[in-house]
Amino acid sequence: MTINTNIGVSQNISKPHFFNGNNYGHWKAKMTIFIQSLDYNLWDLIVDGPNLPTVTLENGEVVTKPKNIYDDNDRRRVQINAKAKHIIICAINSNDFNRISSCISAKEMWDRLEVTYEGTNQVKEAKISMLVHEYEMFTMNENEDIKSMFSRFTNIINALQALDKTYSNSEMVRKILRCLPRCWMRKVTAIEEAKNLNVLPLEDLLGSLMTHEFSMQKKDDEE
């Protein structure tokens, strides 16, 4: 496997990616991967809730369990919640810290950041609807090269993924093939006949299209 050494600014993989208040979707995706790589239990806790120790009173009311009657399991649950909170706090600026510092659980912190930067569920659905429309209407522009077209496509896909809307690899492969102009139809047909689109990686499709584009440009130059 080839490793790209021309990365630019490197990042310490032992520390969470810092959020400066811009490009929340990018930060959210990086934090998701970072937390999952540390401990998937932490990520489950952030998504599903901390399940902090509770006790049921005689009147049926459920309240937070007093610390003086914690057992070992209770302390483990509280400890993993504190660890998740610590990771989030270490990755945000002072303004966001003030927004979430009063939250008891890591899930509350994560959800509050989502609402702050993505809006409520209604706003989120509106953003998804707009991006899905862009995806459905996506087409290759006139005089646009494959690399530029693919970059625009990836931006839409990443924005949707940040809002928890995803497409399968085969759906994206078929979408790319449909968005190509008529002059590409012979190549599209050749790919459809030679490849199984259900398992064709999107990166392989990109490479094939870029190779064909280079061949067409070379032929035009020779003519």
pLDDT digits (tens, 9 = 90+) for 159-177: 898 888 999 999 999 999 9
Q: In the predicted model, what is the mean pLDDT of residues 52-76?
A: 83
Question: Is the pTM of the predicted complex or chain greater than 0.75?
Answer: no
Q: In the predicted model, what is the mean pLDDT of residues 16-33?
A: 89
Helix (H) or strand (E) holding 44: helix 40-48
Between helix 72-89 and helix 40-48 the angle, nearest 10°, is 90
Q: In the predicted model, what is the mean pLDDT of residues 215-221?
A: 76
pLDDT given for residue 88 in this prediction: 95
- Give the SS3 label for residue 55: strand
pLDDT digits (tens, 9 = 90+) for 115-124: 998 887 788 8
